């Protein structure tokens, strides 16, 4: 590729990615040369400003027309912009949580690495959102995954952190291999790695043996990506990793990494398998004929996540199973294809605010008490009424109680199960039943906070960064619960119903 061709590309559409890349590179160099006695928090604030800069540049691109560069490997379309918005907002809030994280052991010497590895993971997620090619998708996925493996085990002298990193690496490596094997089948049948090119080739495939191979590819890709979003029965790594990883990393994995996983699922499945004709008349897309398998995955994920959460005493493990259950709810939208973009975007946005707000409070309590037992939340209302009320709002939203953003998100997905031609009554029933089950463990935390005596009456001091995270979380959770049209109007005004997803 000559210099003239390189300069002809509209590089401005990659500005958010360039800002994150530039800041991550600058942080790594600064960390190398700064004296060891210098507090590394300054790098975290630098990274936070970089994320805000990327967010500002993304807002400037909202009205930009759909553009692809580098031979269709990078696409700036409404889908990419909408989900990058969630990724950047989530990353900014996680960075604030990380700035207030002061564990007893094994982090001080690695604090600088923590910040720029976090930014490289974010960069991988953003690349996945705008990828138009299997190669760039895979590079983005690996950038996110490898950075996440290191972040999970960054407390080098902490046994649980080491265990969580090892389990994460093994499971992540297996899932990546399965995903890549599935991708290789699609490449072998189409002769191209470009998603648009694949889609156009696959519309003319009618040979039953080739369709059979594409079905195998679908299952391998779905299984591999199910590991990434921690959906049952491929969820076994999540509770151990969530428990052993530093709290900001757990928050990152539960929200930003999960959002990136769903972005990848939708990008791949709708771009590739929605265009493969099956059935006697050749009018039924392969994705539709296989949707029952995705529905089964969604049902199993909701049941296992919510039922196993009932037995948890460790707050981070409980939120791991809660996160698995939330993945099941989002998979309902994916498997029914009803309002898939709207429902996914709104639910992931609501989940972002309520979950990160909850993790900010979890970090405050666990760092003060030096333990992660749910019993440490006992009497929180007497010690800090504001924290207790904020946590109650997040829990009510996670449980899907009316008046919160979580309720609107679940309602959207629930209604979507009925508006399709063949209504998913079983899936909707499982969604209701498991939501009721979730009340037991969510309200168990509230019982501790409001109705149990506290072992200590010592007041809790909340760092300014965490005040911001909790405040933003409460405000957004209540606002989008009472006035959800603000979110949907913003979505439709700026992203136009995602009509440019494949075109």
For the chain, percent of residues with pLDDT exceeding 70: 93
Is residue 304, in this structure, part of any structural domain at all?
yes
CB-count burial class (<10 Å; 0-12, 13-18, 19+) for 162:
middle
Instruction: Name the range with the highest mean pLDDT among 47-51, 227-231, 414-418, 493-497.
Output: 47-51
* Dihedral class, residue 118 (left if φ above 0, else alpha if ψ from -120 to 50, else beta): alpha
Any idea what DSSP says for residue 285? E
User: Does some domain include residue 262?
Assistant: no
At 397, list the tokens: 């939203």
DSSP string computed for 432-486: HHHHHHHHHHHHHHHHHHHHS--S--------HHHHHHHHHHHHHHHHHHH-THH
More confident residue, 132 or 158: 132
Categorize the per-residue pLDDT at 158 as very low, low, confident or very high, splitting at 50, 70 and 90: confident
pLDDT of residue 424: 84
Beta bridge partners of 87: none
Q: How far is CA 423 from the centre of its chain?
A: 27
From the number of C-beta atoms within 10 Å of its C-beta (0-12, 13-18, 19+), residue 300 rates as middle
Query: Is a pLDDT exceeding 70 seen at residue 106?
Result: no
Burial class (CB within 10 angstroms; exposed 0-12, middle 13-18, buried 19+) of 19: buried
Q: Quick one: average pLDDT of 270-274?
A: 83
Give strand ranges (E) for 314-450. none
Residue % of the chain over a pLDDT of 90: 50
Structure tokens belonging to residue 306: 């919510």
Q: Give the chain's mean pLDDT.
A: 87
Which of 155-164, 257-266, 344-353 is least confident? 155-164
- Provide the b/e sequence for 401-424 (b: ≥16 CB within 10 Å): beebbbbbbbebbbebbeeeeeeb
pLDDT at residue 283, as a whole number: 66
Report the alpha-carbon distance of residue 302 to residue 326 in Å, rounded.
Answer: 7
Residue 331, domain member (yes or no)? yes
Q: How far, in Å, are 54, 72, 368, 405 from residue 396 at the CA level?
A: 32, 43, 24, 10
- Look at residue 503 and tell me whether its pLDDT is greater than 70: no
How does pLDDT run across 428-486, given as a tens digit for each residue? 999 999 999 999 999 999 999 998 887 677 778 888 889 999 999 999 999 999 999 99
- Written in H, E and C, the secondary structure of 74-115 is EEECHHHHHHHHHHHHHHHHHHHHHHCCCCCCCCHHHHHHHH
Give the pair of three-digit tokens for residue 378: 């006992």
Q: What are phi and psi of 458, to 5 degrees?
A: -65, 130
In a domain, 428, yes or no: yes
Q: Tokens standing for 477?
A: 């959770």
Quote the domain boundaries for residue 453.
Answer: 296-503
Q: Is residue 434 part of a domain?
A: yes
Candidates 383, 137, 428, 388; CA nearest to 260 is: 137
Q: How many Å apart are CA 89 and CA 52, to the nearest integer?
A: 8
Interval 251-275 mean pLDDT: 88
By CB neighbour count within 10 A (0-12 exposed, 13-18 middle, 19+ buried), where does 459 fall?
exposed
Residue 192, classed as helix, strand or coil, is: coil
* The pLDDT of residue 419: 81
496: its two tokens: 């136009």
Q: Which secondary-structure segment (H or E) carries 69?
A: strand 67-69
Give the pLDDT of residue 498. Answer: 62
Alpha carbon dihedral 393, 397, 401, 402, in 10-degree steps, equals: 90
DSSP 8-state code for residue 67? E
Given this model, what pLDDT does residue 91 score?
A: 95
pTM of the model: 0.94
Per-residue pLDDT, 454: 78
Q: Give the chain's domain count.
A: 1
H or E segment to which residue 277 belongs: strand 277-278
Token digits for 141? 């996925």
DSSP 68: E
pLDDT, tens digit (0-9, with 9 covering 90-100), for 353-392: 999 999 999 999 988 877 888 888 888 888 889 999 999 9
Give the number of C-alpha atoms closer than 13 A to the C-alpha of residue 482, restricted to the C-beta side: 6
The reply to whether 472 falls in a domain is: yes
What single string gives the DSSP state of each residue in 210-236? HHHHHHHHHHHHHHHHHHHTT-TTS-T
pLDDT of 210 reads 85
Kindly state whether residue 138 falls inside one of the protein's structural domains. Answer: no
Q: Mind listing the pLDDT tens digit for each residue in 279-330?
A: 555 567 788 788 888 889 999 999 999 999 998 888 999 999 999 999 999 9
Q: Judge whether 287 lies within some domain.
A: no
Q: Tokens at residue 370, please?
A: 């030096």
Q: Is the predicted pLDDT of residue 340 greater than 80, yes or no?
A: no
pLDDT in tens, 399-419: 999 999 999 999 999 988 888
How many CA atoms within 13 Å lie on the side-chain side of 275?
Answer: 20
The end-to-end CA distance of the chain, in Å, is 26
The 10s digit of each residue's pLDDT in 219-236 is 999 999 999 898 988 888
Chain centre to alpha carbon of residue 51: 17
> Looking at residue 102, what is its pLDDT?
78
């Amino acid at each position: 590729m000559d210099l003239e061709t390189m300069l002809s590309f509209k590089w401005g559409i990659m500005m958010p990615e360039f800002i994150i890349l530039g800041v991550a590179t600058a942080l790594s160099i600064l960390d190398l040369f700064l004296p060891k006695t210098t507090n590394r928090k300054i790098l975290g604030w630098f990274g936070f400003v970089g994320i805000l800069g990327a967010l500002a540049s993304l807002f400037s691109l909202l009205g930009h027309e759909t553009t692809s560069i580098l031979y269709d490997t990078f696409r700036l379309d409404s889908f990419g912009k909408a989900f990058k918005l969630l990724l950047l907002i989530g990353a900014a809030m996680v960075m604030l949580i990380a700035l207030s994280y002061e564990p007893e052991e094994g982090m001080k010497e690695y604090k600088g690495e923590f910040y720029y590895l976090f930014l490289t993971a974010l960069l991988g997620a953003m690349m996945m959102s705008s990828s138009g090619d299997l190669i760039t998708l895979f590079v983005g996925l690996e950038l996110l995954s490898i950075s996440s493996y290191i972040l999970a085990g960054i407390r080098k002298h902490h046994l649980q952190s080491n265990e969580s990193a090892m389990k994460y690496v093994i499971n992540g490596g297996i899932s990546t291999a399965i995903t890549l094997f599935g991708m290789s089948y699609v490449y072998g049948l189409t002769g191209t790695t470009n998603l648009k090119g694949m889609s156009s080739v696959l519309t003319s495939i009618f040979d039953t043996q080739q369709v059979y191979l594409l079905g195998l590819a679908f299952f391998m890709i779905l299984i591999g990506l199910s590991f990434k979003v921690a959906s049952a029965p491929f969820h076994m790594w999540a509770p151990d990793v969530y428990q052993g990883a530093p709290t900001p990393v757990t928050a990152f994995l539960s929200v930003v990494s999960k959002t990136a996983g769903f972005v990848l699922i939708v990008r791949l499945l709708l771009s590739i398998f929605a265009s493969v004709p099956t059935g006697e008349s050749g009018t039924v897309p392969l994705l539709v004929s296989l949707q029952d398998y995705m529905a089964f995955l969604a049902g199993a994920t909701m049941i296992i996540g919510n039922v196993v959460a009932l037995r948890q005493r460790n707050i981070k493990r409980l939120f791991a199973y809660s996160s698995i259950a939330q993945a099941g709810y989002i998979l309902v939208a994916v498997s029914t294809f009803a309002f898939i973009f709207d429902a996914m975007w709104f639910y992931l946005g609501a989940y972002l605010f309520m979950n990160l707000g909850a993790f900010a409070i979890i970090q405050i309590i666990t760092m003060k008490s030096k333990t992660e037992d749910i019993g440490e939340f006992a009497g929180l209302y007497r010690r800090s009424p504001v924290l207790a009320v904020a946590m109650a709002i997040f829990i009510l939203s996670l449980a899907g109680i009316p008046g919160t953003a979580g309720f609107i998100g679940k309602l959207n997905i629930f209604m979507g199960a009925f508006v399709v031609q063949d209504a998913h009554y079983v899936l909707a029933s499982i969604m209701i039943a498991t939501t009721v089950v979730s009340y037991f463990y969510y309200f168990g935390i509230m019982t501790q906070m409001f109705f149990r005596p506290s072992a200590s009456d010592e007041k809790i001091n909340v760092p300014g960064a965490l005040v911001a995270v909790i405040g933003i979380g409460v405000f957004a959770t209540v606002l989008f619960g009472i006035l959800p049209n603000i979110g949907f109007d913003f979505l439709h005004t700026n992203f136009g119903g995602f009509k440019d997803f494949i075109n």
